[in-house]
Structure 1
Amino acid sequence: MHISEGVLSAPVLISGGVLAAVGTVIGLRRIDIDEIMPAALLSSVFFVASLVHVPIGPGSVHLVLSGLLGLVLSWACFPAILIGLFLQAVFFQFGGLTVLGVNTVTMAAPALCCHYLARRWLETPSTRPIAAFTAGSLSILFSSLLTALALSLSDEGFTTAAQAIIIANLPVMVIEGCITLFTIGFIVKVQPEILHVKAAL
């Protein structure tokens, strides 16, 4: 869901940059020293997963795993995603530096929303699979909607591409939901303290 450089209007770029900066500052202030290693690991996972992407007009679809980052990192997902996007822009020219703020917001804000939506369910073993799948799938839905909104606010000509991005991400929602479900289940078995939940019996 990287938005390419040169397609967004200045107000959208500025707004995205400000929101990304605010989210990153809050994330850095709230991160605990014990969460630095999981944050670094998940930032790396995000970096690798979203390298494989399919271009769709001025945007693209790919694995993001933002729901997983949101569940584990909360506000720290902002700096984790920002670092991953920055490295992708510098080394592989995915997205770009001028759209770094907007791309960070379109992926990190949904991750944070899913954290607050599904976190309580994650603490109960019976609802944990639902929480994980919901966070994984809804984060992609929200990200595609934010990406479409950013494109539409920049130019009405991008409306068709914006709609295509939403449609193209529908199967990605299911895939991300399943990956998040199995990953959360694995984490609970091997290192539940990362999620602050009790280990599976």
Structure 2
Amino acid sequence: MGHREDLLAGARRCLLEKGFVRTTARDVVKESGTNLASIGYHYGSKDALLAEAYISLIEELGDGFGAPPDDAGAGGSIERFEKVWGSIVRSFPQARGIWLLTLEFVTQGERLAGVRDIMVKAQEQGRAGLAALFLDLDEAALPRDVVDAEGRFYTTLLNGLMVQWLFDPGSATTAAQLTEGLRRVAERTSAAEGTRLVQP
């Protein structure tokens, strides 16, 4: 590996051990076996390096969600909705450190313009990845409106579940509860729309 890759690997380890706020440039240099000048040369700043390291951790986590089982149902189905959320929820215990980092980056991003820009771009990629997973489609082929609507919907649910799970895993919403909630909302909105259409 070159210095760029060494820095990224070292930054990942530092983030998981110390978090975003407590990780210093010297920590990363020590962990990666590189030098301070390499950070600026390859990433521009320590914060930008840490943001890239965080994104690589999140991407790895997303890949770890894996494909739903064969009986997950068709893309976009209620069966697939529940199976995919089940896979995601099961990943929470092993990924606690990464989800805690997410909260750190959210709270610090406003103060660090460069980091915020990196995170906004990553969030867009995350929306596309989640939509592809739930719809069983190739991420590269997703229409823009699908990412903007359904991708945002799934991301919002993921963020809410993550916060619930970090606060109290025992009372956090399960995949089955989330699915039942969606089913009821869909039924109520369909019924309300039907009532509106038959009114004179």
* TM bracket (short chain): 0.3 to 0.5
Bigger-Rg structure (1/2): 2
Give me the TM-score of the superposition, normalised by structure 2: 0.37
TM-score (norm 1): 0.37
Q: Which one has a larger percent helix, Structure 1 or Structure 2?
A: 2
- Between the two structures, name the one with larger relative contact order (CA 8 Å, sep ≥ 6): 1
